Amino acid sequence: MAAAPSDRPYDVVVLGATGFTGALTAAALAARAPADLRWAIAGRNAGKLAACRTELVGAHPTAPAPGTVAAEVTDGASLRALAESTRVLVTTVGPYVEHGAGVVAACAAAGTDYLDLTGEPEFVDRMYVEHHAEAVRTGARLVHACGFDSIPHDLGAQFTVEQLPEGAALKVRGYVRAQGRFSGGTFHSAVTAFSRPRQNLAAARARRAVEPRENGRRVHVENGTPHRALGAWAVPMPTIDPQVVGRSARALERYGPEFTYGHYAAVKHLPIALGGVAGVTALFGAAQVPAVRRALLSRIGSGDGPTAAQIAAGWFSVRFAGEGGGRRVLCEVAGGDPGYGETSKMLADAALCLALDDLPATAGQVTTAQAMGPALRTRLERSGIAFRVLEGPAAVT
């Protein structure tokens, strides 16, 4: 039998800490760790782990020093031992559809809270079908998409809903502006996801077959069409974010008896918007051809990432236009580099939130809004990510 979470040697473990995003996450965790936090970094290469630990201790001498744990995502026994050693397990090892299933399985069986950065709908749906029920039984909280996918959108929509009347039909649209550079790992995950349209569809169908039906409340996620909004062209974004917001709305009655969400990129000039759509379409098409896909993936290593200067120049802003109950409001979530500067903060704050904060009783596969909500928002605001009301709530005329 696994030890009870309170009896385990660690509060938080970061798996993949020697990779680009994992190292940033471990550094963000060290910068935020209270003195009594028991935490560790994990990976398959003992030498790299030791070097990572030395770097963390040197950069954060007043933080609690992390332990090191050897673990391999292809070794079920080592993953079980890892999951049973900690209350919260964070993994940055992707693409998750290739490397994540064993970690989720180990956490669900051990009653260990799980966090990742996936933006892969197929992986999230498969993990729900395969491990949600077991996680409910053991009390594990399985929380996917804990970076720019999808924390600003999920918590931003929740924040916007909180500004509108209760018990009313609500509609929220998110408009995303951002500047940042992708890492090799993110590129590999996106291309892998694009290359699997049939598997994505099959996973979504399998989830619908076992997921409980809506009970008296209606939630709708817009397919979306290009339109003008907030002084820009709004183009639908083919990301996991609207699915996550929809799942939060289905789980939480505060979103009202009827809730609609749309998710868009906000682009000032129409040619740039059309060029972005064309670029995504071309990448999707290229991902369907194995030889072309291999050539694309070979150009960028999965461990490559932007420079510190490129990260420092990044920023994001998501504006949420909400209405319902005769009121209208405009809110914003904003911060620095979306891909790495802020994503590592979001993941570290989410780990500390699950490990240390007083949260609603949830289990199984849950969203950040459902599992953590305002408590995580408070941590993010302390980390410099802004949640604010720009206009309203004003009466609809």
Give the Cα separation of 330 and 161 in Å (integer). Answer: 11
**CA dist list (Å): 289 to 96, 97, 196:** 21, 19, 11
Residues 116 and 161 in one domain: no
Per-residue pLDDT at 302 exceeds 60: no
Reported confidence tier of residue 1, pLDDT bands at 50, 70, 90: very low
Query: Would you state the structure tokens that stand for residue 47, as one six-digit string?
Result: 């030498």
Which residues constitute the domain of residue 122?
5-147+343-377
Residues 69 and 28 in one domain: yes
Residues 92 and 167 in one domain: no
Percentages of the chain per state (helix, strand, coil), in multiples of 5 = 45, 25, 30
Query: Would you state the structure tokens that stand for residue 37, as one six-digit string?
Result: 């936090």
Residues 106 and 157 in one domain: no
Q: Residue 228 — φ and ψ, nearest 5°?
A: -90, 135
Per-residue pLDDT at 108 exceeds 90: yes
Residues 371 and 248 in one domain: no
For residue 25, give the 3-state DSSP assignment.
helix
Per-residue pLDDT at 2 exceeds 60: no
Give the Cα separation of 372 and 214 in Å (integer). Answer: 22
Residues 138 and 233 in one domain: no
Give the Cα separation of 334 and 381 in Å (integer). Answer: 10
DSSP for 252-285?
A: -GGG-SEEEEEEEEEESSHHHHHHHHHHHHHHHH
Reported confidence tier of residue 279, pLDDT bands at 50, 70, 90: low
What integer pLDDT is reported at residue 272 of this predicted model? Answer: 63
Residues 155 and 15 in one domain: no
Residues 225 and 163 in one domain: yes
Residues 101 and 225 in one domain: no
Q: Is the pTM of this model over 0.95?
A: no
Give the Cα separation of 251 and 229 in Å (integer). Answer: 29
Residues 331 and 301 in one domain: yes
Residues 347 and 258 in one domain: no
What integer pLDDT is reported at residue 381 of this predicted model? Answer: 98
What integer pLDDT is reported at residue 250 of this predicted model? Answer: 96
Q: Residue 91 — φ and ψ, nearest 5°?
A: -125, 135
Q: Please state the domain count of the chain.
A: 2
CATH classification at residue 120: 3.40.50.720
